[in-house]
Structure 1
Amino acid sequence: MKFGTRSVVESARRLMSTARNGLEVIRFGGLGHDLESSPYEIAERKRMYRLRRYFPGAGGDRPRDRPVALFVPPLMVSADVYDVNAEGGAVGILHRAGIDCWVVDFGSPATEEGGWERDLSDHVLALSAAIDTVVEATGRNVHLMGYSQGGMFAYQTTAYRHGRGVASIVTFGSPVDIVAGMPFGLPYGLVSEVTDFIADHVLNRLPITDAMVRVAFQLLDPVKTAKARLDFLRQLHDRDALLPKERQRRFLEQDGWVGYAGPAAADLLKQFVTHNRMMLGGFVIGGQPVSLAELKCPILAFVGEIDDIGQPAAVRGIVRAAPNADVYEADLVAGHFGLVAGSTATISTWPMVRDWVFWQEGGEGPPVGVEPMPEHVEGGGPASAMTRVVDTVAGLAEAGAGIGRTLETLAGKALRGSVELTGEAARALPRLTRLGMIQPHTRVSLGRLLAEQARRAPQREYLLFDDRVHTHAAVDTRIDNVVRGLISVGVRPAARIGVVMETRPSALVAVAALSRIGAVAVLLAPGRDLPRALELTGAHTVVTDPENLRDVAATGARVLVLGGGEARGLDLPATGDVTDLERIDPAGVTLPGWFRPDPGLARELAFVLVTGTGPSLAPRYVTNHRWALSAFGTATAADLDRGDTVYCLAPLHHSSGLLVSLGGAVAGGSRIALARSLDPARFGEEVYRYGVTVVTYTWTMMRDILDADTFPNGHQHPIRLFIGSGIPAGLWRRTTERFAPARVLEFYASVSGDVVLANVAGSKIGSKGRPVPGTARAELVAYDPATDEIITDAQGFARRAADNEVGLLIGRATDATDLSGGVLRGLFAPGDAWLPTENLFRRDSDGDYWLMDRRDTVIGAARGPVYTEPIVDTLNDITAVDTEVAFALPVAGRTLAAVAVSIRDGHRLDPKDVTEAMRALDPAQRPDLVFVVDDIPRSATFRPSAAAVRAMIEPVPGPHTWYYDRATETYEILTTESVVPTLG
């Protein structure tokens, strides 16, 4: 190799330049440059933020004529991120286009007062205040723009404000559906468990400093970090080549990172990673539940094809999370930081943002590259290795990373499935184990389980009502205060205390407080049967709310008034024993020596429910063991956990509300959302706002929701499960079609005994399913409805019913079972003990149980017993049928099987429709008469009332009365000529 003088001099000059520039970098952290930040003024300074207004004084005499952009930085990145490229950055480009640019600067928690104590709500409320300031100063709605978590803040704040003051939202790499796009392909089940642990046990002790943030981001892409540093060192001799990118390099290397307050990081992990509430709704801001379904303004989301942090699938979740907004996307070949800084941002991102703003302000559009965001994108996986090669020009190293990513994705999918299955088993096993450990002397009760939750996670959200969120600690404190009030007025353990309240937090608190004392809560429905119900149950003291005060006082019982909210006003009756518990100061009550919190044993009576109406009123007794059985059984069958929000449509005085809704949520650690009443419009709002994943129902309750058309077919929603009892087959089918992919989990819980059935799979519509693990062993014995006796074999033992034979359901008695209602012994072996239920079932060849009837409602027709449930389910599956009820109708000395049906609005029902439907039943099981009525009354629990229908109909000829012609096996209109052969 030849060395000339020029080459030696050039090498020496290059070496000297490298040394000189290197020394400058060592001394000052970087190279000196002439690039200056865009000018700005601090328009507002508050504890949580400083509000920058860039290029103050611009706009001439008409500053209010300019569109307004308000930028929000992520918490770990400096607010200078929007001005890194100076004239080629966000504020420079938009300012030159005539847009008024403002930036929210949250500052560094290391230097701000109380910075390390900030939580997520603090930042959202601060941004909301900044929006108000900008709107007031400019007189215009703002175009709210956020990068990464700043975009999440933009979504959250706009939803919290219900869109007030926001013209549009623009986000850059801001994830919404965390489940769909976990960074680096990690399985969500594993990540959610880890993040939950970190949020609870690490972030509340360890602050995240700016140095930790910088290192973490660099480790997210070590290849790109190493390549950038090598490129810098290789060009260190060429100052002119480095200066244009020097400011961006220093931003990424050192200046651009700020610390992250632990509470804010914990909120982020718990709400948006562990529970994915950006997608589901129900995240909490300032004590209020919020959902992105509130968003209605236009949205533009920038998607980075090679973004490993805000993955495309996660970013595109906004189109499903905000179904009421017009959502657009701009797809760029860029990484997470490249969306807002660097050449791609200067050439593509900010010009598109500029054009978007002017389009929203009434200009022509949409901009080139901006398209409506599709709900589903084919593939949806990470960018291909080739895309990464072209983008980073990293050659073999980047191709290797792409291949590794492909293998990682395949492995991740396999791991994700195993983690999810393992997680479900991990939740179920402790519950089943705990059920198996319950003995008669075991202390278990509603109050005890609530106390456990409060100790374990006091600040976790528990109760949602009227757009407010209450934590476990707040609810537990309220329970303790009510306990003191009840004790001060003489309530003692084992006392039967009535509870007549509308669905509200105070009702739940009252029931839990009685449980904590060890008293028995007698749950009663408001209405005309109240005096009789009090007499049957032996309750002489009643806890009620202001709405039911007068009706309860009229019964002559002692009345304790609880709840009613801040604006309560009591309409006290002139006479009667009425005490306002809210006026009792808990601090002034001295607890007696006998008080021990949550003393209830498994064998002891915990609740009394009243079923039926009028003459058929009957008390039903629920022990602590029976309640725990349903609670843990529900939580297991429904796989309820802390990520679920259970919407309680069923009232607490119904077994579905007490045992399934309240019990399952408490046992599963889920949030409970209480509904004041069945209001379809409010239901539609609260499902999104609360992030409801599980809805409880009773009987025909879902009919009102479906008929209101609050959720059109295909409309996005967070619900995964409907759980309850008594839903007819047709209504079940309509529910799953309307709310797909949600499914229905139908429960059956015997009033006496501990039998619990659940149709977990949901594949057989109408079936009650199979026994829930951990509950009583169930058997089906042959039964004669005419004599109300169990059929025995030659040895005198009960004969087990064959497949598809109708039999009596019985449950095996255990040591913890309440035997006060009567027990059957020696059914299958000498000395064995079984409790009969009130219901008849058949069991198919797969082992699934199908309800046939109650023992006391079987129709004793001359041709043999006719079972009402198959008739009801068959009729309900006819599209035109709204509600139906089957009953025995005495006519001319004989008993006929009759049904009454009402017709859905806009539909028509003909006799031939009933004929076709009834072909599914054996001819002997088909009803003799069909009455078409305008409406079928329902009880307070939405159960169609056979007694009410029977009292208002007459079997007279007419177009609305049809009879079954057994000769032709068809239903015909009852005429004068057909009366005699039909009715006798």
Structure 2
Amino acid sequence: MVDLSAITGPVERLVATAQNGLEVLRYGGLETGAVPSPFQIVESVPMYRLRRYFPPDARPGAKPAGPPVLMVHPMMMSADMWDVTRDEGAVGILHAAGIDPWVIDFGSPDQIEGGMQRTLADHVVALNEAIDTVKSVTDRDVHLAGYSQGGMFAYQTAAYRRSKDLASIVAFGAPVDTLAALPMNLPAGLAVGAADFMADHVFSRIDVPGWLARTGFQMLDPIKTAQSRLDFLRQLHDREALLPREQQRRFLASDGWIAWSGPAIAELLKQFIAHNRMMSGGFSIHGDLVTLSDIDCPVLAVVGEVDDIGQPASVRGIKRASPQADVYEYLIRSGHFGLVVGSKAATQTWPTVAAWVRWLAGDGEMPDGVVPMALQPEESHESGVPLALRIAHGAGAAAEMTFSVARAAGSAVVAANKSARALVVETARTLPRLARLGQINDHTRMSLGRIMTEQAQATPRGEFLLFDGRVHTYEAVDRRVNNVVRGLIDVGVRQGAHVGVLMETRPSALVAIAALSRLGAVAVLMPPDADLTEAARLGAVSDVIADPVHLDAAKKLPLRVLVLGGGEARDLDLAADDDVVDMEKIDPDVVALPGWYRPDPGFAKDLAYVAFATVNGELVARQITNFRWALSAFGTASAANLSTGDTVYCLTPLHHQSGLLVSLGGAVVGGTRIALSRGLRPDRFSHELRQYGVTVVSYTWAMLRDVIDDPAFALHGNHPVRLFIGSGMPTGLWRRVEEEFAPAHVVEFFATTDGQAVLANVASAKIGSEGRPLPGGGQIALAAYDPDDDLILEDDRGFVALAGTNEVGVLLAHPRGPVDPTASVKRGVFAPADLWVSTEYLFRRDEAGDYWLVDNRGSVIRTERGPVYSAAVNDTVGRIGAVDVAVTYRVTVDDHDLAVSALLLRPGGTVPTADLNEALTGLPVGAAPDVVHVVPDLKLSATYRPLLGPLRAAGLPKPSRNAWYLDPDTGTYRRLTAAARAELAGAASDE
């Protein structure tokens, strides 16, 4: 008997396959009969529509809606992702659990007028408005839930509104530390470079259509994509088997993908991949600077154990980025899309989210599997999703293993070449700067104004100036500079004029300095706390630019005052002041440029600035040429390896040389952002680091002690700082700063006033060292020195002898550019008729070639035991663990000099006598001080440099348990007693 089933079975299967296949070809999929969940459009604007699913019954006695959850989709996916299947979709499950589900729908931008010009900031602002609407309608705090990039939007919006009206954030596979673990384990260095290039040169010109977004998503996991398609074809005959997953398949295969605007992609790549600003802070939302550290509502991060897009290491960055928030995680063994759609999402993710919402409302226990997120190390050792989990997760284990093994081999090569790659990147940035610096001669056109013009032309929309929580682009700042130039021309300021700048550190001060540079005038930087009449005389000032804050002080000078800036609070009454001009009332568009005007006319040799310093209580003018400015600016950018991803925090005022030469100069040359501070405010320091995304902090002397000693100072979680740059930091404070801000380092600079000698401790490996000569700077040499007779030594041919290793010598500089007329010029130094400048600073050079400041030639304390070199003593004593700052000074008693060292300790610190003896036994050069004592405080100058005058005036320290003298018999330190003090003072003791 013939078995008909053996014949009809394959035929029926073939027919079913053909019928189902034809339906898929004609309609894109199988008809499931499913209907979407009901929803109401609560708000509809061009940017979004706000859906409320299962709107509550408004009739009396109806059950009230539960806690609202507002769900956010990523830009490339349709908002329908939350309702792919009614019974197993997010909105249906949440509604059944008593939750009030809301969805923001950004729509398809290619179908909306102006949609393809949307930016990331537009989405954040839209979500911010939607939260206000949900809060207004429900009168309850909102739970914000976002998937993938939607989760990033949720974090960014929460930070933007400082968690106002938010009950919690739930993020599904949302990357935060985007460089911790990239999709397909791409090396971070490669990703940063590629993201920068794509943002600037690709997505600034094109958009991504929906089909391309779908293809890109599928290519991130090609094995799984191919496997899913094969499974569908193999089951095409079995309609009943396919129907439960058909809606999900159709969503991923076609329906779920929408276009992506180029500007939004460029901003994503620039801010959150190339610059990783969700971790560092300082990302811009329509000009406002935002940081995730402002989030203080509870956070639940749903982590996919085998998610290769929102990788666990990247998702867990939220713990470090938001130190004020209580952060929890829920780990699910799923890939990226499976976190929110599919069987595991229906049985694990969404019930857990519902339980989380109820728990926060006080209506239940914490859900199973939700645990506090552990603080991850800043540099994660996770290299992506582990191979074992991939094998367990995927059906194509063999193929996945092959792919992962190849990738692991590639990672090994990447790790082996990490330093080489970093060196290549650093060299690529540094060499052009050093080459340009080396090409500068007296007649090279070089100025601050010129470099700012170049940056504005290269990256007009690049972020440049940060102040009071706002960001200004290069284009905007450059336009403002040009307008001020026109105003200066209108009031008669010409090239070469000396114009005083008496202003707070704010954008208008930077603009004024840059405008004078562009005009070719000389900016005389007048310190507000100095004798302004004397400053005006020394600077040969003809006019003064002042802000409203300093207007009254400026009006006391016998000069014309030009008022600039002042912000919204500006209210001037200048009707009766003939010598006061309100620059803001000049319309730059009606100012005709004269024939003599050429923008940025300054040569390197030209005087560009006059700054001031106080020496022995007297105000001294320091002349700064364009070459001197360029040397510091290019040198800083090179030594600190500044890039477009950096933000320099300018703590010093712009009228100080450090602010002008290091902070502003380095930032402009490096193309980085510069954040201006209104002054050192320890109570705001930590917040501004994160708000601005500060990566480089400038300082002078002991400035940072006020920060880390402030009782309110605390660093929780992540901080973005990688470098501190400046000069004069005491060794003890240096060590503390690196401890507090690890893994950040200090790059210490040393530069003479005229800039002929510049050193930098780029490696930062030797605390206290001034490092080595800056490439591109002038040539230096260390002349042999006799401290007893204060003479530079000569060899048997009559030329200057060179100091040996670890010998004290006078630092000489072979000048480049104009020589200061007050400088100590030497000729015939190492060859007939050569010319060198003596810096008058004493240094030693160690075996490795690093330079260590020993003293100033005129400050050596010559005692009966030999010369005491102040800087050498200060560096050595500063290495005692409890010491923050050490200063050594001369006290003259009965016509003989004593060397005294004062120690300022860290809070709660003490100095054992044994530690003091051990430290000073290892003094590298010179004699030890006669007396060492602890002081409760040190008076500092306006630039945070310790003042020696008050210490000298106090004479010998009084006997105490925190004062020691050097016993000449034993060569060790002992407690300073009254008898010992009297003996030191030259008076015989009666005891």
Supply the distance in 2 between the matched residues of 1:783 and 1:923 (Cα, whole angstroms): 13
Q: Does 1:888 align with 2:887?
A: no
Supply the distance in 2 between the matched residues of 1:903 and 1:388 (Cα, whole angstroms): 55
Amino acid at match of 2:131: I
Q: Does 1:747 align with 2:754?
A: no
Deviation sequence 1:50-94 (CA, Å, 0-9, x none): 000000125974766611111000000000111112211111111
2:665 aligns with 663
How do 1:407-446 and structure 2 match up within 5 A? 407-414=409-416, 417-446=419-448
1:982 aligns with 985
1:34 aligns with 33
How do 1:264-413 and structure 2 match up within 5 A? 264-376=264-376, 380-413=382-415
Aligned partner of 1:496 among 495, 498, 503: 498
Go from structure 1 to structure 2 and tell me whether the alpha carbon gap of 1:920 and 1:709 turns closer, same or farther (over 3 Å shift): farther
Q: Is the 8 A contact 2:965 2:980 kept in 1?
A: no
1:627 is displaced (CA, Å) by 1.2
Supply the distance in 2 between the matched residues of 1:226 and 1:583 (Cα, whole angstroms): 67
Q: Is the 8 A contact 2:627 2:817 kept in 1?
A: no
Q: Does 1:628 align with 2:627?
A: no
Go from structure 1 to structure 2 and tell me whether the alpha carbon gap of 1:774 and 1:3 turns closer, same or farther (over 3 Å shift): farther
Q: Is the 8 A contact 1:177 1:279 kept in 2?
A: yes
Supply the distance in 2 between the matched residues of 1:887 and 1:856 (Cα, whole angstroms): 12
Q: Is the 8 A contact 1:602 1:816 kept in 2?
A: no
Q: Which moved more, 1:398-407 or 1:269-278?
A: 398-407
Deviation sequence 1:840-875 (CA, Å, 0-9, x none): 111111111111112232224344432111222334
2:77 aligns with 77
Supply the distance in 1 between the matched residues of 2:854 and 2:70 (Cα, whole angstroms): 64
Go from structure 1 to structure 2 and tell me whether the alpha carbon gap of 1:933 and 1:215 turns closer, same or farther (over 3 Å shift): closer
Q: Is the 8 A contact 1:76 1:213 kept in 2?
A: yes
1:972 aligns with 975
1:11 is displaced (CA, Å) by 1.9
1:329 is displaced (CA, Å) by 1.4
Q: Is the 8 A contact 2:183 2:220 kept in 1?
A: no
2:220 aligns with 220
> Where in structure 1 are there 5+ consecutive unaligned residues?
none
Q: Which moved more, 1:899-908 or 1:439-448?
A: 899-908
What SS does the corresponding residue of 1:366 show, helix, strand or coil? coil
Amino acid at match of 2:146: G
Q: Is the 8 A contact 1:684 1:710 kept in 2?
A: no
1:517 aligns with 519
Q: Percent identity?
A: 53
1:890 is displaced (CA, Å) by 2.1
1:834 is displaced (CA, Å) by 1.3
Q: Does 1:707 align with 2:709?
A: yes
What SS does the corresponding residue of 2:569 show, helix, strand or coil? coil
Amino acid at match of 2:229: R
Amino acid at match of 2:848: D
Q: Is the 8 A contact 2:702 2:728 kept in 1?
A: yes
Supply the distance in 1 between the matched residues of 2:951 and 2:422 (Cα, whole angstroms): 49
Q: Is the 8 A contact 1:722 1:742 kept in 2?
A: yes
Supply the distance in 2 between the matched residues of 1:867 and 1:7 (Cα, whole angstroms): 104
- Over aligned residues, Cα RMSD in angstroms? 2.3
Q: Which moved more, 1:214-223 or 1:231-240?
A: 214-223
1:602 is displaced (CA, Å) by 1.1
1:9 aligns with 8
1:792 aligns with 794
Deviation sequence 1:601-655 (CA, Å, 0-9, x none): 1111112221224644322222111211111111111111000001011222222
Q: Does 1:187 align with 2:187?
A: yes
Go from structure 1 to structure 2 and tell me whether the alpha carbon gap of 1:604 and 1:449 turns closer, same or farther (over 3 Å shift): same
Deviation sequence 1:150-175 (CA, Å, 0-9, x none): 00000000001000011111111111
2:141 aligns with 141
What SS does the corresponding residue of 2:30 show, helix, strand or coil? coil
Q: Does 1:546 align with 2:548?
A: yes
1:528 is displaced (CA, Å) by 3.7
Go from structure 1 to structure 2 and tell me whether the alpha carbon gap of 1:905 and 1:407 turns closer, same or farther (over 3 Å shift): closer
Q: Is the 8 A contact 1:438 1:816 kept in 2?
A: no
- Give the TM-score, by structure 1 length: 0.96
Amino acid at match of 2:360: Q
2:238 aligns with 238
What SS does the corresponding residue of 2:501 show, helix, strand or coil? strand
Q: Which moved more, 1:467-476 or 1:533-542?
A: 533-542
1:584 aligns with 586
2:17 aligns with 18
Deviation sequence 1:162-203 (CA, Å, 0-9, x none): 000111111111111111111111112122222212111221
Amino acid at match of 1:204: S
Go from structure 1 to structure 2 and tell me whether the alpha carbon gap of 1:529 and 1:715 turns closer, same or farther (over 3 Å shift): farther
1:775 is displaced (CA, Å) by 0.9
Q: Which moved more, 1:426-435 or 1:577-586?
A: 577-586
Supply the distance in 2 between the matched residues of 1:405 and 1:343 (Cα, whole angstroms): 30
Q: Is the 8 A contact 2:888 2:902 kept in 1?
A: yes
Amino acid at match of 2:459: A
1:819 is displaced (CA, Å) by 6.7
Amino acid at match of 1:4: D
Deviation sequence 1:906-939 (CA, Å, 0-9, x none): 4455766644543333796222234554432111
1:109 is displaced (CA, Å) by 0.6
Supply the distance in 2 between the matched residues of 1:3 and 1:234 (Cα, whole angstroms): 28
What SS does the corresponding residue of 1:556 show, helix, strand or coil? coil
Supply the distance in 2 between the matched residues of 1:896 and 1:669 (Cα, whole angstroms): 50
Q: Is the 8 A contact 2:732 2:885 kept in 1?
A: no
Go from structure 1 to structure 2 and tell me whether the alpha carbon gap of 1:57 and 1:799 turns closer, same or farther (over 3 Å shift): same
1:444 is displaced (CA, Å) by 1.0
> Where in structure 2 are there 5+ consecutive unaligned residues?
none
What SS does the corresponding residue of 1:531 show, helix, strand or coil? helix
How do 1:36-75 and structure 2 match up within 5 A? 36-58=35-57, 61=61, 66-75=66-75
Aligned partner of 1:716 among 706, 715, 718: 718
Go from structure 1 to structure 2 and tell me whether the alpha carbon gap of 1:614 and 1:822 turns closer, same or farther (over 3 Å shift): closer
Deviation sequence 1:12-45 (CA, Å, 0-9, x none): 2222212211111111111111211111010111
Q: Is the 8 A contact 2:872 2:924 kept in 1?
A: no
Amino acid at match of 1:9: T
Supply the distance in 2 between the matched residues of 1:277 and 1:304 (Cα, whole angstroms): 23
Supply the distance in 1 between the matched residues of 2:912 and 2:305 (Cα, whole angstroms): 58
Supply the distance in 1 between the matched residues of 2:231 and 2:645 (Cα, whole angstroms): 46
How do 1:549-698 and structure 2 match up within 5 A? 549-570=551-572, 577-613=579-615, 615-698=617-700
Supply the distance in 2 between the matched residues of 1:577 and 1:952 (Cα, whole angstroms): 47
1:740 is displaced (CA, Å) by 0.6
1:889 is displaced (CA, Å) by 1.9
Q: Is the 8 A contact 1:500 1:545 kept in 2?
A: yes
Supply the distance in 1 between the matched residues of 2:647 and 2:615 (Cα, whole angstroms): 32
Supply the distance in 2 between the matched residues of 1:897 and 1:906 (Cα, whole angstroms): 26
1:247 aligns with 247
Q: Which moved more, 1:809-818 or 1:103-112?
A: 809-818
Q: Which moved more, 1:873-882 or 1:116-125?
A: 873-882
Supply the distance in 2 between the matched residues of 1:555 and 1:639 (Cα, whole angstroms): 43
Go from structure 1 to structure 2 and tell me whether the alpha carbon gap of 1:976 and 1:405 turns closer, same or farther (over 3 Å shift): closer
1:143 is displaced (CA, Å) by 0.9
2:105 aligns with 105
Supply the distance in 1 between the matched residues of 2:712 and 2:841 (Cα, whole angstroms): 35
Supply the distance in 2 between the matched residues of 1:627 and 1:976 (Cα, whole angstroms): 54
Go from structure 1 to structure 2 and tell me whether the alpha carbon gap of 1:58 and 1:812 turns closer, same or farther (over 3 Å shift): farther
Go from structure 1 to structure 2 and tell me whether the alpha carbon gap of 1:5 and 1:849 turns closer, same or farther (over 3 Å shift): same
Supply the distance in 2 between the matched residues of 1:550 and 1:914 (Cα, whole angstroms): 52
1:897 aligns with 899
Aligned partner of 1:857 among 856, 859, 870: 859
Go from structure 1 to structure 2 and tell me whether the alpha carbon gap of 1:725 and 1:572 turns closer, same or farther (over 3 Å shift): farther
Q: Which moved more, 1:393-402 or 1:517-526?
A: 393-402
